[in-house]
């Protein structure tokens, strides 16, 4: 049976064309409308790969539901048309649509080829939610290898790449990870008037600032604190960021984002039958956000087998809802240790547990939320530079995040609380002594904490700990991320 005949068996040509034309209004000369003025940081990277790819590869944009992947594609399409690309050479397809999902990847593309006779012009394919199609890895590999005049961009909210698929994808596609909105992106979307805070490419630069400059910057940042707390409650999803009411924003996050992943994507992609058990595991992780992942303990508490719990967590990772952070060390140290698990966005736990604004009064949960947000910002800023992130823990002490970039090891401890005492530094002191480190960071709550502490004890001679308020740390990490991509675009 030919592919085209197969398509006709599913729906008439007129029905299929009507759907495609609805998603591709530029074919009829209608410009893209209702697009926001703001652009996600990843937009610059996507448009670079589409317009002037560094190499002949496809590009895959992966991230949780509702983080802005489709909007980035539509903005890129508008940019292509404005730059002179023929509208009929641009195809946008979402396999969320039932008819297009039934037609399949090959069927839709063959139908589009029937509409557009071949010539020497470059073709641009934007394929949304490609994970709903069969053998998409093999299809992209074939296209990259044999269709040199075709540029392919795809998105996926959950990307179950098999080992064979991952191997075939080497050199065939470039993956761009799209997390939830950073704090700086959130401020831009909300059109907040930003204070005059100096930029810094690295926290290391701040060690050179005078205490007077730190005092002034901390005072200038004071207007950002209420926005930071709103960001912790609303989360980094564009839709929830724009809703006026916090309760509605958290309801949207629960129902339109998390529920759809748990109750639809997991069943459709992985064949999960017991959605209730999957939901229990996810809620457990929400309660333990930033905590040590003890799969055996979770299984005992929820009356599930260890393999079932492990599979569920892997599914949640593939759906970009959780991150796993391994313990510091190498080889057996990692294999013997238990990882920590962070949710993909700081507002997920509070929304799922119906915390509302009460989260700001719950010092323990608020501390976990800020630790989650800081981890996401650090990961997002540096993952392209092959950063290795881990945590360090002994029976007495802990360091929340350890970043290894090249030959540098940088420890971070998050203490989002008032009245930081010397005992709060013990984990950093111990780790720095063992690893012979002279620079470390404490992420704090109070703006008045912004200072550099010099440690000249026998055990930590020459150690300096820079205490940075979380609002500034997240602001700078996300601002430098945007500047980094703007440099790429230029």
* Residue 466 and residue 394 in one domain: yes
* Residue 428 and residue 336 in one domain: yes
Q: Which of 170, 183, 137, 172 is nearest to 156 (CA)?
A: 137
**pTM, rounded to two decimals:** 0.90
- Looking at the domain assignment, is residue 9 inside a domain? yes
Burial of 132 (0-12, 13-18, 19+ CB in 10 A): buried
* Residue 289 and residue 142 in one domain: no
- Looking at the domain assignment, is residue 275 inside a domain? yes
Show the domain range for 236.
184-481
Could you tell me if 471 and 441 are in contact, meaning their C-beta atoms sit under 8 angstroms apart?
A: no
Q: What is the pLDDT along the chain (490 residues), one digit of tens a residue?
A: 455 545 555 667 888 899 999 999 999 988 777 888 888 989 999 999 999 888 889 999 999 888 999 999 999 999 999 999 999 999 999 998 989 988 889 999 999 998 887 788 899 999 999 988 888 999 999 999 999 899 999 998 876 544 434 555 667 899 899 999 999 999 999 999 999 999 988 899 999 899 999 999 999 999 999 999 999 999 999 989 888 889 999 998 888 778 888 888 888 888 888 899 999 999 999 988 778 889 999 999 999 999 999 999 999 998 889 999 999 987 666 667 789 999 999 999 999 988 889 999 999 899 999 999 999 999 998 888 888 999 999 888 999 999 998 889 999 999 999 888 888 999 999 999 999 999 999 999 999 999 998 876 777 788 999 999 999 999 999 988 765 444 333 3
* Residue 334 and residue 266 in one domain: yes
Could you tell me if 284 and 302 are in contact, meaning their C-beta atoms sit under 8 angstroms apart?
A: yes
Q: Which of 231, 219, 489 is nearest to 350 (CA)?
A: 231
Could you tell me if 90 and 26 are in contact, meaning their C-beta atoms sit under 8 angstroms apart?
A: yes
Tokens of 79: 């940019």
* Residue 231 and residue 369 in one domain: yes
User: What is d(CA 252, CA 263) in angstroms, rounded to the nearest whole number?
Assistant: 15
Q: Which of 133, 160, 178 is the last residue of a domain?
A: 178
Describe the chain by its helix, strand, coil percentages, rounded to 5.
55, 15, 30
Instruction: Please list the residues that pair with 466 across neighbouring strands.
Output: 441, 452
What is the secondary structure of 67-80 as a DSSP string? Answer: SSHHHHHHHHHHHH
CATH of the domain at 71: 3.40.50.300
* Residue 207 and residue 156 in one domain: no
* Residue 146 and residue 256 in one domain: no
User: What is d(CA 201, CA 382) in angstroms, rounded to the nearest whole number?
Assistant: 12
User: What is d(CA 102, CA 133) in angstroms, rounded to the nearest whole number?
Assistant: 9
* Residue 157 and residue 283 in one domain: no
Q: Which of 403, 411, 408 is nearest to 431 (CA)?
A: 411
- Looking at the domain assignment, is residue 16 inside a domain? yes
Instruction: Please list the residues that pair with 127 across neighbouring strands.
Output: 93, 154
pLDDT of residue 13: 82
User: What is d(CA 404, CA 378) in angstroms, rounded to the nearest whole number?
Assistant: 12
User: What is d(CA 460, CA 446) in angstroms, rounded to the nearest whole number?
Assistant: 25
Could you tell me if 232 and 365 are in contact, meaning their C-beta atoms sit under 8 angstroms apart?
A: no
User: What is d(CA 265, CA 269) in angstroms, rounded to the nearest whole number?
Assistant: 6
In the block, residue with structure tokens 């748990």: 262
Number of domains in the chain: 2
- Looking at the domain assignment, is residue 489 inside a domain? no
pLDDT of residue 163: 40
Tokens of 92: 């946008």
Could you tell me if 475 and 221 are in contact, meaning their C-beta atoms sit under 8 angstroms apart?
A: yes
- Looking at the domain assignment, is residue 94 inside a domain? yes
Instruction: Please list the residues that pair with 325 across neighbouring strands.
Output: 340
Q: Which of 436, 223, 254, 283 is nearest to 356 (CA)?
A: 254
* Residue 126 and residue 253 in one domain: no
Q: Where are the alpha helices (DSSP H) in 149-198?
A: 163-169, 183-189
* Residue 162 and residue 256 in one domain: no
Q: Which of 178, 194, 216 is the last residue of a domain?
A: 178
Q: Which of 158, 178, 198 is the last residue of a domain?
A: 178
pLDDT of residue 3: 53
Could you tell me if 90 and 25 are in contact, meaning their C-beta atoms sit under 8 angstroms apart?
A: no
Could you tell me if 389 and 379 are in contact, meaning their C-beta atoms sit under 8 angstroms apart?
A: yes
- Looking at the domain assignment, is residue 490 inside a domain? no
* Residue 235 and residue 118 in one domain: no
Tokens of 249: 């924003």
Q: Which of 354, 115, 166 is nearest to 247 (CA)?
A: 354
User: What is d(CA 376, CA 179) in angstroms, rounded to the nearest whole number?
Assistant: 8
* Residue 29 and residue 95 in one domain: yes
- Looking at the domain assignment, is residue 101 inside a domain? yes
């Amino acid at each position: 049976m030919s592919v085209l005949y197969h398509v006709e068996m599913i729906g008439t040509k007129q029905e299929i064309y009507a759907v495609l034309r609805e998603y591709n209004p530029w074919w009829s000369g209608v410009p893209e409308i209702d697009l926001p003025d703001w652009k996600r940081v990843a937009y610059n990277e996507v448009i670079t790969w589409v317009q002037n790819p560094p190499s002949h590869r496809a590009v895959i944009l992966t991230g949780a539901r509702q983080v802005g992947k489709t909007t980035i594609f539509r903005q890129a399409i508008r940019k292509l048309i404005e730059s002179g690309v023929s509208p009929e050479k641009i195809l946008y397809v979402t396999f969320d649509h039932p008819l297009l999902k039934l037609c399949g990847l090959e069927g839709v593309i063959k139908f589009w080829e029937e509409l557009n006779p071949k010539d020497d012009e470059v073709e641009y394919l934007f394929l949304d939610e490609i994970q709903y199609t069969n053998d998409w890895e093999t299809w992209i590999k074939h296209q990259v290898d044999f269709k040199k005049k075709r540029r392919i961009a795809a998105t996926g909210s959950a990307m179950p790449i098999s080992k064979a698929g991952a191997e075939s994808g080497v050199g065939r596609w470039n993956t761009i990870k799209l997390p939830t909105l950073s704090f700086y992106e959130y401020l831009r979307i909300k059109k907040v008037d930003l204070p005059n805070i100096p930029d810094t490419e690295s926290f290391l630069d701040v060690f050179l600032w005078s205490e007077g400059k730190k005092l002034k910057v901390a005072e200038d940042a004071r207007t950002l604190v209420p926005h930071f707390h709103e960001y912790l409650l609303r989360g980094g999803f564009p839709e929830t960021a724009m809703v006026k009411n916090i309760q509605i924003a958290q309801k949207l996050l629960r129902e339109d984002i998390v529920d759809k992943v748990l109750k639809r994507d997991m069943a459709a992609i992985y064949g999960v039958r017991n959605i209730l058990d999957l939901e229990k595991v996810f809620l457990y992780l929400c309660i333990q956000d930033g905590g040590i992942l003890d799969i055996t303990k979770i299984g005992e508490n929820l009356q599930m087998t260890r393999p079932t719990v492990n599979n569920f967590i892997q599914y949640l990772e593939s759906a970009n809802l959780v991150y796993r952070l391994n313990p510091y060390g190498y080889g057996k140290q990692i294999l013997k240790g238990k990882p920590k698990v962070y949710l993909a966005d700081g507002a997920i736990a509070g929304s799922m547990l119906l915390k509302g604004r009460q989260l700001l009064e719950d010092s323990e949960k608020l501390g976990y939320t800020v630790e989650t947000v800081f981890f996401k910002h650090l990961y997002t800023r540096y993952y392209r530079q092959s950063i290795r992130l881990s945590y360090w823990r002994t029976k007495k002490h802990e360091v929340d995040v350890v970043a290894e970039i090249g030959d540098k090891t940088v420890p971070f401890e998050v203490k989002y609380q008032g009245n930081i005492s010397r005992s709060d530094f013990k984990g950093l002191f111990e780790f720095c002594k063992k690893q012979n480190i002279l620079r470390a960071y404490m992420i704090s709550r109070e703006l008045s904490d912004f200072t550099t502490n010099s440690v000249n004890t026998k055990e930590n001679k020459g150690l300096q700990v820079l205490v940075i308020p979380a609002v500034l740390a997240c602001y700078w990490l996300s601002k430098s991320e945007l500047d980094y991509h703007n440099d790429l675009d230029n």
